[in-house]
Structure 1
Amino acid sequence: MRINLVSVFVDDQRKALTFYTDVLGFVKKHDVPLGDAAWLTVVSPERPDGPELLLEPSGHPAVKPYRDALVEDGIPLVQFEVDDVAAEHERLTAQGVEFTHPPTDIGLNLMAVFDDTCGNLVQIISAKS
């Protein structure tokens, strides 16, 4: 069993695509029109054949209360591994990304949390060297 696809509900697929590619550095893999939406996925440029992140429309009625509750409690919807949390924090902050939790030592790892501008909190994490 392997992880092949993970969904992140987004308010606006085009805005999310711009944020996840231009700001975070992912690469678009699929963009297949499906009526008013699309099957829109991104991947890590380091693993183009690895797991895909589906930028899924947040139209289902259960999504808003679920995401609102997570954001209110400061709980990230998704986590991404980076080589250096402090460097990534600096790079993203310079691009206007708003962090809700600064780089923090949590034992074996460093982590930080930011707003993806699409309705979610995202955690980045790296192993301490």
Structure 2
Amino acid sequence: MDITNYTAYFHDGNLIDIEHQGKNIYLFLESAQLPISGVSHMSKSKTLLGKLCLIKVQKVIENDEPYVGLLNKKHDSGEILDLELEGNKVLLLVEWTDYPPKPRVYDVSEIIIESEKVYWEPLKDL
């Protein structure tokens, strides 16, 4: 499935998790509900649920600064404000939120990841 045709539907979706394994990063994403039917790999809740696989990552930039270390989910919830795919470059704008008993936190991160290969792997359940 070519996810580039559906990136607009990830606005108001969720960044469920991040796995950073060596030079590979896996972003577990769920879109907002799709207003259309008949899309392959649509979940029962009418969303796209899957793993955006970034293979042989070359560069990670967060909020205009080079990111060093393992990329991970920073807070309890990550709402996707924007998802853009341009070739092997991914831009992800995420609004982070923490919930009680932690102190309430609202933060926004712009994450840009460049890698040798990007592909979408649909998932049925997480």
Whether the TM-score (by the shorter chain) exceeds 0.5 is no
Question: Which band: TM-score by shorter chain?
Answer: under 0.3
Could you say which structure has the higher strand fraction? 2
Larger RCO, structure (CA 8 Å, separation 6 or more)? 2
Could you say which structure has the higher helix fraction? 1
Q: What TM-score, normalized to structure 2?
A: 0.25
Q: What TM-score, normalized to structure 1?
A: 0.24
